Copies of this chain bind each other. A is one copy, B any other.
Amino acid sequence: MRSVFQEELDGVSQSLVDLSNMVSDSIHSATQALIEADLKIAEEVISNDEKIDLYQHDLDSRIIDIIARQQPVASDLRALVTALRMSADLERMGDLAHHIAKVTRLRHPEKVVPAELNDLVNHIGSVAENISRKIPTVIETRDTELALQLEKDDDEMDKLHRQLIGLLTNNTWKHGVEAAVDITLLGRYYERFADHAVSVSRRVYFLVTGTFANSTR
């Protein structure tokens, strides 16, 4: 029979999966709102971020309560502390989707993204979402191969991000400095979103293997 403690640990993993799904949905909607200058969807992302924050806050309280009551052995304690760090990464990913939605709202009804950048920004958005959609499987299966795949996805993100900044700075940019400032910040938000997703996956990798994923690259 499974112990109450084991059930509590599984509950924490499930909540991390739920939180991952919430932030994946947020970045999906944030990108859609951004490309289409859709105020309604942007507002939804902004208000959903409060739910993500509350969910994370409750999860963290639950984790601390489990540590206090169960006084877990070193390996379980490490897993619970890691869960706290993962929830912090996921909460931050929600913030970054929220930031993207706020840029959309600020410029509405104008579009933030010039038409010729739509494909690239869409691509960046889908790479970000794609990385974050892999997190639940990494958490559920502790599949270290998949965890390493996220590192590759993040390399793709970095490449696209450099491409985006390149388009701003190659002397053909004709949309003015304000648009360049917006695009610079958006690029940064997506890049950081992916960084935090990779960080979640690295933490799982470390729990499973006891070594850091980035040292294997």
Contacts and interface: CB of A to CB of B under 8 A. Distances in A.
6 contacts: A64-B77, A81-B81, A84-B84, A169-B178, A171-B177, A177-B180
Contacts of A173: 177
A48 B77 CA distance: 31
A188 B67 CA distance: 36
Interface of A: 64, 67-68, 71, 73-74, 77-78, 81, 84-85, 88, 165, 168-169, 171, 173, 177-178, 180-181, 184-185, 188
A137 B165 CA distance: 41
Contacts of A171: 177
Nearest to A189: B188
Contacts of A185: 184, 188
Contact of A168 (B68, B81, B84, B177): B177
A78 to B, nearest CB: 6
Interface-central residue, A73, A84, A85, A178, by most chain B CB under 10 Å: A178
Contact of A77 (B67, B165, B181, B184): B67
Contacts of A74: 68
- Report, nearest first, the 10 A-B pairs whose CB atoms are least far apart: A169-B178, A71-B71, A184-B184, A177-B180, A181-B184, A68-B74, A173-B177, A68-B77, A168-B177, A180-B180
A67 B171 CA distance: 56
A132 to B, nearest CB: 20
Interface-central residue, A73, A78, A88, A169, by most chain B CB under 10 Å: A169
A151 to B, nearest CB: 18
A17 B177 CA distance: 41
Contacts of A168: 177-178, 181
Given A67-B67, A169-B181, 8 more contacts: A64-B77, A71-B71, A84-B84, A165-B181, A168-B177, A173-B177, A177-B177, A188-B188
A185 B185 CA distance: 7
A171 B165 CA distance: 21
A73 B77 CA distance: 15
